[in-house]
Amino acid sequence: MASYQQWTLFVSLLCLVSATMGAPPRKPISVPFGRNYQPTWAFDHIKYFNGGNEIQLHLDKYTGTGFQSKGNYLFGHFHMQIKLVPGDSAGTVTAYYLSSQNAEHDEIDFEFLGNRTGQPYILQTNVFTGGKGDREQRIFLWFDPTAAYHSYSVLWNLYQIVFFVDDIPIRVFKNSKDLGVKFPFNQPMKLYSSLWNADDWATRGGLEKTDWSKAPFIATYKGFHIDGCEASVEAKFCATQGQRWWDQKEFQDLDANQWRRLKWVRQKFTIYNYCTDRVRYPTLPPECKRDRDI
């Protein structure tokens, strides 16, 4: 008969295994902004702290600002820790996304739509493949994203694109090439982030305007490490394709625990899903077949 000690050891090992399985194993490493990123525009609206390990984007009535990765990447796991604009952020949009820089571009988007003080942010996600987007999903978050840093990440391999919020999958875009849907696989992408005024659409569909007396609006970032396969812009494949951790079996699909969490997000926090919008799409977009069973 197993002793109590053996039993507790067994249980704690079990917990350890189930806690680490499937979840992206790498935690963001602290590196300064300048290692992997550079400002895109309005350089003076980016402020640096703690040796560049932490930055702020400032939006005022003159301009917003943004930054981008120096490198281009084909597949990987891309993290950012963000503390969104606190207080009255109505009309502002903070975005964190991957995008290729050509006409028929691929893009993977997180967009945070601000709100009046005390009203919830919306997180909108979208996926463009071969220049085609219109795949919006919108959720409320289960925490106040302005009170502390939270991690927002994208896992991208040949099998799937997964959006994570604090390691909880909030969206999966499966490779549905077999259904005739393009999947990003041969156009290297850069990472981008920006903060700008979008009060023509962002908050309650544009009804709530930006209150400039509350400016500057400030979003704070850290965690500038990038875990991806770096490639030149023209590269059609990654030199280490298939060999990196994000390519391995356990990252080719969500595990049972992750599916459960995604279902929880679906049931409790989803506001909009293009896959269920029958007015806009009388015929279901093909990739939505893979979205239905969630």
Taking CA atoms, 220 is separated from 50, 158, 195, 276, in Å, by 12, 32, 10, 34
**Given the rule CB under 6 A, which of 4-12, 118-126, 174-182, 186-194 is the region that contacts ligand NAG?**
118-126
The answer to whether 137 and 148 are in contact (CB under 8 A) is no
> Is residue 45 exposed (0-12), middle (13-18) or buried (19+ Cβ within 10 Å)?
buried
Residue (114 or 184) nearer to ligand NAG, CB: 114
Is residue 210 a contact residue for ligand NAG (CB under 6 A)? no
Find the catalytic residue in 107, 136, 230, 250: 107
Is residue 89 a contact residue for ligand NAG (CB under 6 A)? no
Is residue 125 a contact residue for ligand NAG (CB under 6 A)? no
Is residue 204 a contact residue for ligand NAG (CB under 6 A)? yes
Is residue 203 a contact residue for ligand NAG (CB under 6 A)? yes
Is residue 234 annotated as a catalytic residue, yes or no?
no
Sign of the CA dihedral 181, 185, 187, 192?
positive
Is residue 265 a contact residue for ligand NAG (CB under 6 A)? no
The answer to whether 189 and 73 are in contact (CB under 8 A) is yes
Residue (193 or 203) nearer to ligand NAG, CB: 203
Is residue 133 a contact residue for ligand NAG (CB under 6 A)? no
**Residues 214-218: contacts with CB within 8 Å, 24+ apart?**
214/87, 214/88, 215/59, 215/60, 215/61, 216/58, 216/59, 216/60, 217/58, 217/59, 217/60, 217/85, 217/89, 217/92, 217/114, 218/56, 218/57, 218/58, 218/59, 218/85, 218/86
Is residue 87 a contact residue for ligand NAG (CB under 6 A)? no
Question: Which of 56, 63, 119, 257 is the binder for ligand NAG (CB under 6 A)?
Answer: 119
Is residue 113 a contact residue for ligand NAG (CB under 6 A)? yes
Residue 206 Cβ vs ligand NAG, minimum distance, rounded to whole Å: 9
Strands 122-128 and 137-139: antiparallel
Is residue 122 a contact residue for ligand NAG (CB under 6 A)? yes
> Cα(66)–Cα(176) distance, rounded to whole angstroms?
32
Residue (78 or 110) nearer to ligand NAG, CB: 110
Residue (94 or 203) nearer to ligand NAG, CB: 203
Is residue 141 a contact residue for ligand NAG (CB under 6 A)? no
The answer to whether 130 and 182 are in contact (CB under 8 A) is yes
> Cα(198)–Cα(180) distance, rounded to whole angstroms?
34
Residue (150 or 204) nearer to ligand NAG, CB: 204
Find the catalytic residue in 54, 104, 111, 287: 111
Is residue 266 a contact residue for ligand NAG (CB under 6 A)? no
Residues marked active site are found at 107, 111
Contacts with ligand NAG, residue ranges (CB under 6 A):
113, 115, 119-120, 122, 203-204
